[in-house]
Chains A and B, each alone.
Chain A
């Protein structure tokens, strides 16, 4: 018990020290990267509800990120001349995104696997195309000059200072994002260990048995879509305020796939694994940046554009991991068992026909 308390305090100290250490050692741009990593962690945790808990492959998840981001951008910027506060927009973002989640989920309820993936991918693109073509979202140009996030009189965009440290906005955002990530972790954890969470697992394991055990699978799937979307909406609101500018190009299908990779690579259904996957994949591209300087220095020419190189490395890493550890780098015990079901078969062919 006591060691647990110490461990908690130590982690807390590390989390607080992290941006300062990163700034000192790696530079300021890396603190910004940390902020993005946290946004991705929230997104990945949201998608994890849909994919990891309920077993529904969703390839259009970024649409909910977009809904949250555009909600904030439209209601807190000169674009429509409105400047609503965060405390109103954050829950609104969650709610509106959740409604979109249920709305887009409803027509897909009968679909499974590949079909579900294709339809959700389509929905993701539809949302993006709407954002490109509507006037109220300012079309392809996107929305600029979005208000920085503000709570009470405290502006997260402004510079602050603490004990002689000069703290630019990226620090304040870091702590805000940490708090919200912690909240999302808590919610994810409580959901997984609840009546609804067990029902989601049951649907993932065997939908026919779940139905025959009285589970209203339509209802439960809609709940998973809505809940996952709500997290996406929250992340979107934060993203818009943090970035100050958004356009439809931030919400492409590639982004959806990236978030899915975070979930799968880290370990579907496992909170810690998913967070690790998100942080790894958010930071990895930056780690490749020095490669271009290295090429410039050695060959006098950049042969491989780091942006492309990074996609290549990324793909290779993903393939290798999926071959060696299909359950992800840090899986939950249940998912590990699922993926190794055939290694040591005790209960034989239980999922054959009816």
Chain B
């Protein structure tokens, strides 16, 4: 078994011995990770390796059968999804899950919910504090849409956006929660080369703004070019972890996954 070797002081997320079974199938088996603060951390592996399952565990959608994980020293193992988001992990989905019939900007404003406060009474009475907050939410949401590059589509219905824009909208919605860790599940899926290159630059910008990224991606070029470290899953087990240059030369990885794709 491979274990990441980091002093916990520089690690943002630490997962220890995560296990998850579906009936007889062991989707995750003793997975331990340590994601350094401020990095882009790649998670790769063949189809069905358990990457999405790990995301679902880390974001509280599934409960781990074994193991623990913590963010910034705070244990999240038993937290609900919304608590995990509040504490700093935001995510996107492999199969885009937007609020399809709401507009792009409304989607991002929902992401702001967790950092804002006005309640029912404020809404009914239209208190000044509520109005200022609402205005601030709109401004921030528009900024985020601009940041991911779809500012001109703010008032378009999410479901009607082109595919690539929907992926970017999901990123904007996740960023709206002010995450410490942004977990992206195959954000480049279905994108062409130009869109993928733009996405790569966007991820770099997000990293520079101080957000750590956990990235599941099949596009090897993107992963190798972008990530500071990479972990490789196969059949629910971590088979390699380290700098992209080292990982891609690891014989087990080549055998398991990269094969002929990397020369």
Give the complex CA separation of A209 and B111 in angstroms: 10
Residue ranges of B at the interface with A (Cβ–Cβ < 8 Å): 52, 56, 59-61, 80-82, 85-86, 90-91, 93-102, 106, 109-111, 113-114, 116, 118-120, 122-124, 126, 130, 133-134, 137, 157-163, 166, 173-174, 177
Contacting residues, chain A, for B60 (C-beta < 8 A): 211
Given A208-B97, A346-B160: A217 touches B82 (CB 8 Å cut-off): yes
On whether the beta carbons of B109 and A198 are closer than 8 Å, the reply is: yes
Smallest CB gap from A350: residue in B? B96
Contacting residues, chain A, for B134 (C-beta < 8 A): 194-195
Q: In this assembly, does A227 line the interface, its C-beta being within 8 Å of a C-beta of chain B? A: yes
On whether the beta carbons of B111 and A213 are closer than 8 Å, the reply is: yes
B93 to chain A, nearest CB (A): 6
Contacting residues, chain B, for A206 (C-beta < 8 A): 97-100
Contacting residues, chain B, for A352 (C-beta < 8 A): 95
| 11 A-B pairs with C-beta separation under 8 A | A194-B122, A196-B123, A208-B61, A208-B81, A211-B85, A212-B81, A213-B173, A215-B110, A334-B101, A337-B159, A352-B95
B178 to chain A, nearest CB (A): 10
Contacting residues, chain B, for A351 (C-beta < 8 A): 95, 97, 100
A346 to chain B, nearest CB (A): 5
B181 to chain A, nearest CB (A): 13
Q: In this assembly, does A349 line the interface, its C-beta being within 8 Å of a C-beta of chain B? A: yes
Given A190-B123, A212-B59, A354-B52: A201 touches B93 (CB 8 Å cut-off): no
- On chain A, the number of residues with a Cβ less than 8 Å from chain B's Cβ atoms is 39
Query: Which among B82, B90, B122, B130 has the highest number of chain A CB atoms within 10 Å?
Result: B82
Contacting residues, chain B, for A217 (C-beta < 8 A): 82
On whether the beta carbons of A211 and B82 are closer than 8 Å, the reply is: yes
Query: Which among A198, A208, A209 has the highest number of chain B CB atoms within 10 Å?
Result: A209
Give the complex CA separation of A337 and B93 in angstroms: 22
On whether the beta carbons of A347 and B99 are closer than 8 Å, the reply is: no
Given A347-B96, A354-B61: A190 touches B124 (CB 8 Å cut-off): yes
Give the complex CA separation of A337 and B106 in angstroms: 15
Contacting residues, chain B, for A161 (C-beta < 8 A): none
Contacting residues, chain A, for B109 (C-beta < 8 A): 195, 198
